[in-house]
Structure 1
Amino acid sequence: MDLKNIMKGILFFYIAMYITLALNSYGHALCVNVSDANLRSGPGTQYEKTWEVFKYMPFKKITQKGAWYKVKDVDGDEHWIYKKLVTSKFKCAVVKKNNINIRTGPGRNFNTTLLSPAVTYDSFKIIKARDSWVNVVDEFGNNGWIFKQLLWIQ
């Protein structure tokens, strides 16, 4: 192996590390981990409240300013949220369509749960996935299965 190939390898390694760090810093998933949270038009409580969301609402982090994250929601709208109100320790999902069934198992042959129907913007913590179905739990501990394409998962 000559010096030229070694240098190419080192350069490739550093470029790959830079890209990995950049991707992990921005655009990663966040979930609300408190019972309710106010979203703002800017990074501080002095800014207008744009939306009140509930536990397990997912977001995609765009950037950070001090103790505030700029995030993107299921509709592509951007807001600011205080960083202590969210976590990246688990995955969350939000319902994209109105009146969808929540089932007792992963398939249409399973009965609907007492939670059915879920409505747009209902949010859940992801427990596990099986094929095209996702096992979810709400903030009160109720769980069920939802068809994956009906959810925005972060």
Structure 2
Amino acid sequence: MQVNVISKPLASRKLAKKLYKLVKKSSKHQHFLRQGLKDVQKAIRKNEKGVMILAGNVSPIDVYSHIPGLCEEHEIPYAFTPSREQLGLAAGHRRPAIVLLVRPHEDYQELYDEVSRLSVGVPSSPASSLMSAHLRSMKP
């Protein structure tokens, strides 16, 4: 499976399985799973906290390349999964999903805590530091 250039940190097979399980459990609760680019961006603007899950095989990457920078600014842990198709299936749809925000809920709190601990909050890679610096310089 081909993943794009910005899909770092890519979840390991074990973490991806836990992420899909978390998405599946959160999809049963109406307002605890934000799906789609517009809804996720609105949730970030409103300072909603959660775990961001992004698909790694999205093309063109310009569609969602700004999301990791927003996550770093708002200190939201995030991870890339290898497949947008699997991400969509875990959310209960037949359509692929490119970005999801899972908010905490008491029914899956233990799994949520484990996944948020294993996900990367603010990676220290040079590319992400440059992206964050670029985003900060664009603020008025």
Which interval holds the TM-score relative to the shorter structure?
under 0.3
Higher helix fraction (1 or 2): 2
Higher strand fraction (1 or 2): 1
Higher relative contact order (CA 8 A, sep 6+): 2
Q: With the length of structure 2 as denominator, give the TM-score of the two structures.
A: 0.25
* Structure number, greater radius of gyration: 1
